[in-house]
Structure 1
């Protein structure tokens, strides 16, 4: 037992004594370095030397320079050579190279010196050298490298400090240019657009087929049918525009303006679909709460209008908010609230996707599960009461049976969509997992087909169609 405690103590003290990479530390004197005071949690004691080391990147942005100051990088020999060239770098703010008054990169950044150590799956590559007119490389104020890519979407790639080193590069003719060495994946990024767009279009066909059946049959054009149609149409528009956007990217016919418009449409549509799914879950709970209005068409239409105001209103507000923040110049670049659609390419990526898309979806899913749990308890209670009161009105029992069947359909739909978005979220965290992406894309085909099977391929529906 004592030995186990000793091992645990060693592990804990070993991990807690070193807060950051040794290469990103500075020697402190009385908890200070270069006029900056280091607080608890920003420095540690080196157990080997007894020195007090401060994590410099916690106090100011870190950047990486290939060679020491007063030296430049010779790409021919791969060596650092003395130079009299001044080391000056442009700073990019909101995707534009701006000269900021009073900004001194050597004071604002802490430069880590050396060539980056690339992982086994990456190799070092000299970035493309652009003329000052067409673009270039520079720094963001947070220390990340900004590599501009003219006439492309996204129009820039941003690299963390441990993935690059920037410096003055010397040419054979004695010229010099600001450039960078970048770690990039040796395996080219797999383009899933062809498979993904095809799968979504197939799914769109089955979704539209389901909508056609519900719109054609008068018996299905009740409140619950209209809610389902609104949900499916929102889902259809989202998938259709997302597939179209991916096709345009493949044929290189997409512009920044088209990308923005499509992104807002897809975002609004997908979010609306999940809000309509939330309406379904609320409506089934409301039905079993005892507040019925089955035969009153006026009341049902009024409820549908309230539902539409909620299911379309909230996504509209969120889309407008996202658009305002996208074009806002009040927040600093790389602010966590910025969607950065134009910097990252079409649609949302990374933290923006987590905040604006997955965030609301998670909240809605939790609410849906709560409604389902409450409804399930209510159904169990009704079944117990039905066994006791066998002589109750048969019409009431028939209605309860229909509502229970509808509850079962919504459970199936929620499960289908839950699996779909779990795959989507996991895929975004593992972009190199080709097999997983293929499985996720294949499931996109099944989504529309499964919805068609759940809501159309029923004996009752087929009997209505035969009439």
Structure 2
């Protein structure tokens, strides 16, 4: 039996109705606090400098707020109120008068001091451990009662950054209100609420560290003097794990990230002393690892707190740094993690609508492809070009829908790969629409001898070389602009910096996507105009002159193809023009272009309606399905 418990029993046996003044009954164990529904929850508070017993009284008790000298059966920190509460009952023989409770926050655990150089409780320069009473004596003398020490850095509010101040212990005092006051370098005294600051010894015997929450707009660059960045995990935690990149307690100090002064001649390394940290990451695990890369993609953290990927600045709230040790991934040391762009509630709702639309499109594009694959009558040259167009659009929509549904790549190369794949798939879709327009004109809108029309197989090969080849060439040029120095900075794709798509601060989107697709659409307009002109001319000739039924049937068939593809052009071409405009909407007003973007996301449905929802096609498909069913049944 412990000395404290024995003392309590001996005191109860004497018939006294209260505990001796130096024995206090704490309701919950150390590091636990009491909730309003009378439960003990871990909170991190440790009580010192008196003898303690632990446990709830064996009686019918009430939860009460406690002031000094109140008679209670046990006392503790309130989990909800950040004050002292107690349990009180009349029949309890172990009642006692509540002593004064002094609250103070210590940055490191009781047996450790703070390494001010490495900004860690586990650095190489930690001072020799001291008894917590010495720590408290530095702040005030002649105290009585309990010292309530909470371990760990304070949780700073939004817009506040944790800043380290090294102060001589003679310049620090604790007010009766528990506020911490200190003066540094002859400045005016600074006053902090006890929950906004922690203190500890440092490797320099006479110096204390004051880690205080201060407004970022005042102390951080460009208005202040500190470089302030986000740390992905909370203080004392890191991605130190053999299995995954999760925030876990770590006793390994994080090396100081390298900071650079970004000049016109390039980045120059700069020593940032005691930078300020935001904690727990700016983007709730939605960040992607940005390992050290070669060539033009190398990144630097500027002294202004921005991340520069090549020369493109990334905002302070769009990346974080963390100590990483992951055997499986081969990662060790301080790494930079890039956030994906997060949207506000309204924008996220709009994006989810697009995601649903693209999901619908993917299903109907797949159904359209299946119908064309099953019906030999549709697999002529025109049908095969349409199938290639559907495949390219299907690939683009699948990758888009994945990102909208918040599927986050785990590494930056995956983000870039998705961006370039989208670029290739959408370009291919535009060029296949170009091919379809040309093929309609070639067969219907141009007058030429039948023998000059060539072989369908050769034309299909040529069409494939053109559509896939042009998309591949333009995408390759975009990749080269990003991974080499062959292109000027204004033409770099910078894919995967703020989005898994082109960076808006360069002209790459115009050069490698908008100009080719706009040129393609302009050519489509020309082809459709020529075809429409010839269509009217042929119709007039058929009305004036004698003609065979075969001539009229061919004219009607070609006319139907022309009308269907004109609808396809209108659905894709016009809406994509407005889509490109909305991409550069500087005010990010998603409501302005909502309907055109929604039309784009539902193109698969429109394509299915244009090419499949026809009596002739539906009857042929039903007949084919019955034939397959009968064959399978007879086997």
User: How does the TM-score come out when normalised to structure 2?
Assistant: 0.46
- Higher strand residue share: 2
User: 1:419 matched to which residue of 2?
Assistant: 574
The 10-residue stretch of structure 1 (222-231 or 429-438) with the greater mean CA deviation from structure 2 = 429-438
Gap change, CA 1:440 and 1:292, over 3 Å in 2: same
Gap change, CA 1:275 and 1:331, over 3 Å in 2: closer
SS in structure 2 of the partner of residue 340 of structure 1: coil
Cα shift readout 1:66-114 (whole Å, capped 9, x = no counterpart): xxxxxxxx9689599xxxx9999611789xx8328xx9xxxxxxxxxxx
SS in structure 1 of the partner of residue 456 of structure 2: helix
Determine if the alignment matches structure 1 residue 346 to structure 2 residue 515.
Answer: no
Pairwise CA distance, 1:400? 1.5
Determine if the alignment matches structure 1 residue 98 to structure 2 residue 252.
Answer: no
Determine if the alignment matches structure 1 residue 255 to structure 2 residue 411.
Answer: yes
Q: How does 1:122-137 map to 2 (within 5 A)?
A: 135-137=301-303
Q: How does 1:61-460 map to 2 (within 5 A)?
A: 90-91=261-262, 98-99=267-268, 135-138=301-304, 147=315, 149-150=319-320, 151-153=336-338, 190-191=347-348, 192-247=350-405, 250-288=406-444, 289-291=446-448, 299-331=455-487, 335-350=489-504, 351-389=507-545, 391-430=546-585, 432-436=588-592, 438-460=594-616
Structure with the larger RCO, 1 or 2 (CA within 8 Å, 6+ apart): 1
Gap change, CA 1:141 and 1:243, over 3 Å in 2: closer
On the 8 A contact 1:208/1:236 being kept in 2, the answer is yes
Pairwise CA distance, 1:417? 0.4
Matches of 2:368 and 2:389 in 1, distance apart?
11
SS in structure 1 of the partner of residue 523 of structure 2: helix
User: 1:36 matched to which residue of 2?
Assistant: none
Matches of 2:559 and 2:467 in 1, distance apart?
24
Matches of 2:353 and 2:449 in 1, distance apart?
46
Gap change, CA 1:339 and 1:144, over 3 Å in 2: closer
Unaligned runs of 5+ in 1: 1-73, 104-126, 158-184
Pairwise CA distance, 1:336? 1.9
Matches of 1:77 and 1:301 in 2, distance apart?
67
Pairwise CA distance, 1:196? 2.4
Gap change, CA 1:306 and 1:77, over 3 Å in 2: closer
Matches of 1:245 and 1:237 in 2, distance apart?
13
User: How does the TM-score come out when normalised to structure 1?
Assistant: 0.61
On the 8 A contact 1:245/1:254 being kept in 2, the answer is no
SS in structure 1 of the partner of residue 485 of structure 2: coil
On the 8 A contact 2:364/2:608 being kept in 1, the answer is yes
User: 2:182 matched to which residue of 1?
Assistant: none
Matches of 1:136 and 1:193 in 2, distance apart?
32
User: 1:168 matched to which residue of 2?
Assistant: none
SS in structure 1 of the partner of residue 455 of structure 2: helix
Q: CA RMSD in A?
A: 4.0
SS in structure 2 of the partner of residue 345 of structure 1: coil
Q: How many residues align?
A: 329
Matches of 2:262 and 2:597 in 1, distance apart?
39
SS in structure 2 of the partner of residue 98 of structure 1: strand
- Higher helix residue share: 1
On the 8 A contact 2:362/2:398 being kept in 1, the answer is yes
SS in structure 1 of the partner of residue 496 of structure 2: helix
Cα shift readout 1:234-277 (whole Å, capped 9, x = no counterpart): 11111111222333xx2544421111111121111110010000
Gap change, CA 1:382 and 1:76, over 3 Å in 2: closer
Gap change, CA 1:152 and 1:141, over 3 Å in 2: closer
Pairwise CA distance, 1:353? 2.3
Pairwise CA distance, 1:450? 1.1
On the 8 A contact 1:293/1:300 being kept in 2, the answer is no
Matches of 1:208 and 1:377 in 2, distance apart?
34
Pairwise CA distance, 1:145? 5.6
SS in structure 2 of the partner of residue 436 of structure 1: coil
